[in-house]
Structure 1
Amino acid sequence: MKPKVHTLVVGGTRGIGREVVRHFVRAGHRVSVLGRRTSSEAGVSGHVVDLADKDAVLAALAEAVKHNGRLTNLVFLQRFRGEGDAWQGELEVSLTATKIIIEELAGKFVRPKKAALNSIVIVGSNASRLIAGEQSVGYHAAKAALRQMARYYACSLAPLGLRVNCVTPGIVLKDEARKFYRENEALHALYRRVTPLGRMGSPRDIADAIGFLCSPGAAFITGQEIIVDGGLSLLWQGSLANELTFPKSAG
């Protein structure tokens, strides 16, 4: 009998995270979710936890491993959404929690010394290299640090047979944002126009990239970043300005 695969998703209760959870459920994995709220997905082991509370995080991890067995995949999508100090919150939730979880679980993967299916994926943001004016300085600093954290752990955990990679989404049309874009079709059309592949990303696009990195097809890939944005980040600022001012569709 083929052994069950256990995938733990941190921050998998809404948006991209919810689609990632669905992806692995469809693939037949045992799925554990750590988050601020209970997962609504059927067949998922949900653990409500404050990621800024180390003791609570460690207890939730122990329960997840006890319930679903040793890990095969670990995916991070969490971010700080509290009302307190954004700088401290981002550092605790995005960085410190990621470090605590990786180092606590590093020895709890299946076949810990055979690199193949064991995978850690950190979901980042283009704010790691670009400036998003609507986000805090803490958000930018945390996302930049996560990219380097993925590279660091890719090297330090390789002897344990663990691969570590980063997925960076572009602009994603999440379910909770559909009403906004229906009411602001001009903005939606603008995103479609400036993106080389002609549309906004979907949560499934991101989930598929994560799924690939957790598959046998990615067995020799580690320490890398996959940008999933339809090619938008390839464009020079001058080209974007020209397209906005003199759209090709206008002749």
Structure 2
Amino acid sequence: MSSMLFARLTVVGRPASRFGAVKATSSYSTSAISRNGAASGSPIKQARTLPDFSMEGKVCLVTGAARGLGYEFCRAFLASGCTKLAVVDLKQSEAEDAAKELVATSCLNSDMGPSDFDVIGLECDVSSERSVIKAFGETVSKFGRVDSVVASAGIVENYSAFDYPFDRIKRLYDINVHGAFFTAREAARNMIPHGGGSITLVASMSANIVNIPQPQTPYNASKAAVKHMAASLAVEWAKKGVRVNALSPGYMLTKLTKTVLSHDQELKKTWESLTPMGRMGEPEDLAGAIVFLASDASRFMTGTEIRVDGGYCII
């Protein structure tokens, strides 16, 4: 289901949550349509939804958020009730443009307007500890705290092991591994004084399997490191109220992937044939998983990996 189709509904009789009361912000119409589809004189009764999945009142921060999966994670948070969000990416202009676009999209088919959202774009090079500290400092200065963080910034390259230039291997590890660590560490430092929070490190199914036919050993190893990093930090911070989990996507049809595969349809067919569900994932397929990990619905889950790969890793 597209993240734009998520509806945030008022729960009848629900008390205010720890982050405040829930408003009715469904993107669905309450026009007079009866259960069998015929017009009637009364509005549709809205079904109850589990309150713990709501992101309302939470301050969220996502790295690598100007495009790709990071952007989709932001959409999912906003569609699930978040109104305070830091969109973090390498270039300030791209982060700000993404923030504006996210607000505009969130207002479509909704009773909320731009003034109901406080979404900021921040420049950050996650491979730089100083840059990550600065981004978190600006976020906390703006919102007072941070509740849910997703470390989504990452890169992938395909070189054979003998041909992989060292400077590019170092860059990949600086972003994928060190960047995830810096992000998680600053998130925890800011969460612990406020009672904790949720950190999701974006790993990959490549943390568990070896992709074929493309050679990508450093990438696979980097994502295995991220997966184990999540488990290790989860143990270290468990009693401090900070949960750390890993989300591992399979082959996803992001804009970048679509561009690559447009010149190599045989590779696309290979990936699809190796996936039990017979298709690649859409970025929206990750919306439910990321909201689950970031919300109170997963309050007793830490150190866990959720794979969303169409069954790739089970065969």
The corresponding residue for 1:123 is: 202
Alignment of 1:157 with 2:232, yes or no, is no
Runs of 5+ in structure 1 lacking a partner?
236-251
Of the three residues 144, 156, 159, the one matched with 1:69 is 144
Following superposition, the deviation at residue 49 of structure 1 comes to 1.9
Alignment of 1:27 with 2:80, yes or no, is yes
Query: Secondary structure of 1:157's partner?
Result: helix
CA distance in 1, matches of 2:207, 2:183: 21
Q: Which amino acid aligns with 1:20?
A: F
CA distance in 2, matches of 1:28, 1:228: 23
The corresponding residue for 2:37 is: none
The corresponding residue for 1:175 is: 255
Query: Secondary structure of 2:99's partner?
Result: coil
| C-alpha contact (below 8 Å) 1:87/1:137 kept by paired residues | no
Alignment of 1:198 with 2:278, yes or no, is yes
Query: Secondary structure of 1:120's partner?
Result: strand
Following superposition, the deviation at residue 139 of structure 1 comes to 2.0
Distance 1:49 1:135, change over 3 A: farther
Distance 1:197 1:94, change over 3 A: same
Distance 1:113 1:179, change over 3 A: closer
Structure ranking higher in helix proportion? 1
Of the three residues 58, 61, 85, the one matched with 2:167 is 85
The corresponding residue for 1:52 is: 127
Distance 1:55 1:28, change over 3 A: same
- Residues 166-189 of structure 1 show CA distances to partners (whole Å, capped at 9, x for unaligned) of 111111111344455566555545
Alignment of 1:207 with 2:287, yes or no, is yes
CA distance in 1, matches of 2:155, 2:274: 30
Q: Which amino acid aligns with 2:239?
A: P
Alignment of 1:11 with 2:94, yes or no, is no
Q: Which amino acid aligns with 1:34?
A: V
Alignment of 1:139 with 2:192, yes or no, is no
Query: Considering only CA atoms, is the larger Rg found in Structure 1 or Structure 2?
Result: 2
Following superposition, the deviation at residue 77 of structure 1 comes to 1.1
The corresponding residue for 1:243 is: none
Distance 1:139 1:178, change over 3 A: closer
- Residues 24-56 of structure 1 show CA distances to partners (whole Å, capped at 9, x for unaligned) of 122232111221132323243111122222222
CA distance in 2, matches of 1:12, 1:231: 26
Following superposition, the deviation at residue 194 of structure 1 comes to 4.0
**Residue identity (%):** 29
210-219 vs 194-203, greater mean Cα deviation: 194-203
CA distance in 2, matches of 1:199, 1:15: 18
Q: Which amino acid aligns with 1:168?
A: S
Following superposition, the deviation at residue 154 of structure 1 comes to 0.8
78-87 vs 30-39, greater mean Cα deviation: 78-87
Q: How many residues align?
A: 232
Q: Which amino acid aligns with 2:151?
A: F
